Amino acid sequence: MSTNVALASGETLHFVYPYSSDITFSDGSFKMSFAAEQSQTASGSSAGIGAYALAHSSAVYQGAETTFVLSHENAYMKVSLTPGEFVGYSLRGLTLWSKGQTLAGNVALDVKNGALEVSESVDYVQKNLSESPVMANGKSYSFWLSVLPEDFSGKQMYAIVHMTRDEETVTLPIPINGAGKLLKHSVTSISLPALSKSYAPKWYEPVE
């Protein structure tokens, strides 16, 4: 089904990306869910990250030549790692977690000022790989994650690496220090130390 709308010159148009039938508009805000569960085709690939964006623009309608520039109201993180003790394991995914903080959730985006109001906040974002590489010595692997802007200065964040080998499942939490402010429309890059069981908290057993 298509809908044709007659527009008058000088009208203000508001755009949001990506499109979803679940997005609603009321009280001057777009309302939608910002996903905590995300997928990535392969290690190092940022293709498809736009599916988890939260981009917005406004423009005055000037006919067929109306142009607009999207501003990303979300932040991006690139997390890189090397296998260390886990050469030969299949890399399945990575979770960013910070207890009680806001990385995803339901949001209301004010179209006038771009302000975000978050409800039902989620304190993690998980990225799952569609293609799980067997990690090799000397190689680096990376994840691209879309998160809500947040200031993590002085707050503890963990990168939880998910791996398997045969019947063995490993979930390895590694503390991230210095994440700082995750700013909208920008990328924060984090390089983890070589993977080692020693980074897991003493109370946590990473291997199942």
Check residues 11 and 140 and name the one with the higher pLDDT: 140
Cβ distance 147 to 139 under 8 Å? no
pLDDT over 80 (residue 1): no
Q: In this predicted structure, what is the pLDDT of residue 3?
A: 47
Instruction: Supply the DSSP symbol for 103.
Output: S
- Residues 9-33, mean pLDDT to the nearest whole number: 91
**Counting runs of H as helices and runs of E as strands, what totals does the chain give?**
0, 17
pLDDT-derived band at 114, boundaries 50, 70, 90? confident
Which residues, 6 or more positions from 129, have their beta carbon under 8 angstroms from its beta carbon?
39, 40, 41, 42, 43, 91, 92, 93, 143
Predicted confidence (pLDDT) per residue in 67-103, tens digit = 889 989 999 999 999 999 999 999 999 999 999 999 9
DSSP string covering 132-200: -PBP-TT--EEEEEEE--EE-TT--EEEEEEEEETTEEEEEEEEE----EE-TT-EEEEEPPPP-GGGS
Cβ distance 123 to 101 under 8 Å? yes
Token representation of residue 61 = 């309608």
Q: What percent of the chain has pLDDT over 70?
A: 96
Q: In this predicted structure, what is the pLDDT of residue 6?
A: 66
Cβ distance 125 to 146 under 8 Å? yes
Q: What is the pTM of this model?
A: 0.90
pLDDT over 50 (residue 2): no
Q: In this predicted structure, what is the pLDDT of residue 96?
A: 97
State the amino acid at position 174 in one-letter form. I
Q: What percent of the chain has pLDDT over 90?
A: 72
- Residues 15-42, mean pLDDT to the nearest whole number: 94
